[in-house]
């Protein structure tokens, strides 16, 4: 299996994670022109599971270090498998709420609120579970990102005052999704060996953990997404018949979204062996900045905002960048 050999490569992987986690939702925006998010989400989950298996049977099975995927999964204890699976269930509950929030409020609000909360709480939870890196720099960086979230909220308050539509329901759902999102990574991390070169007996390596995690998402989706289809947050109920009536291009858009997210998750877990879970998770969740950039500059979700709102957005981005830089320095 491939193992990261240096902190610099680990940081590079987490930056790619950030780009993936901040960009996958563009596929939902593209599909949303003709496709409800509940239907999109089935393809998203399929894409996530497929990418995890491709990764496990390719870079997760070749090389001299660690254990190959099949050997690793066969020796894993039930407690380790259960922990990664539970991580998938928790993530799925959080992510389907986040996708719902995106469909209601847009990327520029759903990501800063939901993923911002997940970043702050998630770094704390993962640092307590496996302390690694300079705590002062790490949490100072998190503090800067928290300040950016406050600025983003203020920017939306300004927009609401100018008569532009801002969904309170979308903000509340985003916040709830963020709390759940903060917890999933620790369950997956707890299933993995700290040493990837000579992994502990009964624990899993990153590739196996991500596959079990993806299975947790896929299986729990039959419960969570069915509920959302029958009792949607917004709009009329949708059926499985509507899903199977979708065109190939529409389905592939969702599959691509899930694959993009899973690339990020796989790289984050691979990088954690060298950078530590708190730093790897924290940098990946800088996806908030990436998503906000997409929302502001590509999807024009702040079109018509006042000058003061644009100033707030500029300071928000500066705080995010500074916070991410400090998190990187924390692991050196």
pLDDT tens across 219-270, in order?
Answer: 999 999 999 999 988 789 999 999 999 999 999 999 999 999 999 999 999 9
**Distance (Å, whole) CA 242 – CA 227:** 16
Instruction: With beta carbons less than 8 A apart as the criterion, state whether 181 and 95 touch.
Output: yes
pLDDT at position 149 over 80: no
pLDDT band for position 212 (cuts 50, 70, 90): very high
- Label residue 217 exposed, middle or buried (CB < 10 Å: 0-12, 13-18, 19+): buried
pLDDT at position 293 over 90: no
pLDDT at position 162 over 60: no
pLDDT band for position 329 (cuts 50, 70, 90): very high
pLDDT band for position 287 (cuts 50, 70, 90): confident
Residue-level pLDDT at 166: 58
Three-state helix/strand/coil letters over the chain: CCCCCCHHHHHHHHHHHHHHHHHCHHHHHHHCCCCCHHHHHHHHHHHHHHHHHHHHHCCCCCCCCCCCHHHHHHHCCHHHHHHHHHHHHHHHHHHHHHHHHHHHHCHHHHHHHHHHHHHHHHHHHHHHHCCCCCHHHHHHHHHHHHHHHHHHHHHHHHHHHCCCCCCHHHHHHHHHHHHHHHHHHHHHHHCECCCCCCCCCCCECHHHHHHHHHHHHHHHHHHHHHHHHHCCCCCCCCCHHHHHCCCHHHHHHHHHHHHHHHHHHHHHHHHHHHHCHHHHHHHHCCHHHHHHHHHHHHCCCCCCCCHHHHHHHHHHHHHHHHHHHHHHHHCC
Please enumerate in sequence order all residues whose Cβ is within 8 A of that of 237, keeping only pairs 6 or more positions apart, or say none: 229, 230, 231
Please enumerate in sequence order all residues whose Cβ is within 8 A of that of 109, keeping only pairs 6 or more positions apart, or say none: 101, 152, 156, 166, 167, 170, 171, 174, 295, 301
Residue-level pLDDT at 25: 82
Residue-level pLDDT at 108: 63
Residue-level pLDDT at 184: 95
Phi and psi at residue 185, to the nearest 5°? -65, -35
Residue-level pLDDT at 291: 75
Over the chain, what is the mean pLDDT?
89
If you search the block for the tokens 């990418």, which residue do you land on? Answer: 51
**Distance (Å, whole) CA 241 – CA 245:** 6
Q: Where are the domains of the chain?
A: 7-330
Weakest mean pLDDT among 63-72, 283-292, 320-329: 283-292
Q: What is the mean pLDDT of residues 139-146?
A: 89
Weakest mean pLDDT among 75-84, 86-95, 208-217, 314-323: 314-323
Residue-level pLDDT at 161: 56
pLDDT tens across 20-30, in order?
Answer: 998 988 998 88
Q: Would you state the structure tokens that stand for residue 325, as one six-digit string? A: 């830089």
Is the pTM higher than 0.75? The answer reads: yes
Residue-level pLDDT at 226: 96
**Distance (Å, whole) CA 303 – CA 44:** 29
pLDDT tens across 107-134, in order?
Answer: 667 777 887 788 889 999 999 998 989 9
What percentage of residues in the chain have a pLDDT greater than 90? 58
**Distance (Å, whole) CA 135 – CA 276:** 12
**Distance (Å, whole) CA 143 – CA 6:** 27
pLDDT tens across 171-206, in order?
Answer: 889 899 999 999 999 999 999 998 888 999 999 999
Residue-level pLDDT at 156: 66
Residue-level pLDDT at 22: 85
| Most distant CA pair in the chain, distance | 61
């Amino acid at each position: 299996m491939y193992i990261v050999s240096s902190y610099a490569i680990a940081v590079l992987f987490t930056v790619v994670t950030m780009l993936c986690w901040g960009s996958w939702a563009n596929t939902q925006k593209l599909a949303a022109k003709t496709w409800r998010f509940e239907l999109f989400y089935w393809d998203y989950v399929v894409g996530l599971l497929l990418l995890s298996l491709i990764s496990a049977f390719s870079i997760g099975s070749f090389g001299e270090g660690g254990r190959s995927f099949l050997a690793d999964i066969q020796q894993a204890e039930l407690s380790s498998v259960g922990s990664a699976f539970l991580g998938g269930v928790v993530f799925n509950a959080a992510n389907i709420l986040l996708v719902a929030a995106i469909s209601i409020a847009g990327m520029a609000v759903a990501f800063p609120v939901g993923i911002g909360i997940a970043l702050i709480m998630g770094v704390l939870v993962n640092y307590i579970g496996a302390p690694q890196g300079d705590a002062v720099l790490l949490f100072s960086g998190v503090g800067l990102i928290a300040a950016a979230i406050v600025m983003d909220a203020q920017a939306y308050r300004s927009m609401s005052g100018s008569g532009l539509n801002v969904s309170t329901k979308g903000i509340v759902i985003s916040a709830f999704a963020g709390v759940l999102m903060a917890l999933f990574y620790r369950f997956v991390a707890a299933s993995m060996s700290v040493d990837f070169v000579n992994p502990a007996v009964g624990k899993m390596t990153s590739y196996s953990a991500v596959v079990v995690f993806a299975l947790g998402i896929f299986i729990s989706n039959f419960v969570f997404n069915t509920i959302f289809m029958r009792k949607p947050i917004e709009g009329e109920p949708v059926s499985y018949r509507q899903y199977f009536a979708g065109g190939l291009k529409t389905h592939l858009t969702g599959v691509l979204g899930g694959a993009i997210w899973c690339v990020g998750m796989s790289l984050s877990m691979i990088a954690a062996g060298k950078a530590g879970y708190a730093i790897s998770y924290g940098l990946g969740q800088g996806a908030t900045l990436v998503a906000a950039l997409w929302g502001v500059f590509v999807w024009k979700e702040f079109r018509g905002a006042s000058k003061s709102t644009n100033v707030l957005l500029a300071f928000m981005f500066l705080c995010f960048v500074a916070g991410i830089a400090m998190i990187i320095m924390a692991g050196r």
